[in-house]
Amino acid sequence: MALGEDEIFLQAGDSIYFQSSTPHRYVNVGEEKVVSLWVMKEAEVSFLQNGQ
């Protein structure tokens, strides 16, 4: 996986997290089929209410 300027090699069972604004890409460099699970969370936004 390329994450920013770094290359990270993940193995079965590994996990990683990063800011979505960080440039990233992934590719399977092996012969075996890869299954990955991506979970994303909506950014939290705070709004002022009643002038607070």
pLDDT tens by residue, 5-52: 999 999 889 999 998 889 999 999 889 999 999 888 887 777 776 655
- pLDDT at res. 52: 54
b vs e for 14-48, b when ≥16 Cβ sit within 10 Å of the residue's Cβ? eeeeeeeeeeeeeeeeeeeeeeeeeeeeeeeeeee
Q: Are 16 and 39 in contact (CB under 8 A)?
A: no
- pLDDT at res. 51: 57
Going by C-alpha positions, the residue among 6, 30, 33 that lies closest to residue 18 is 6
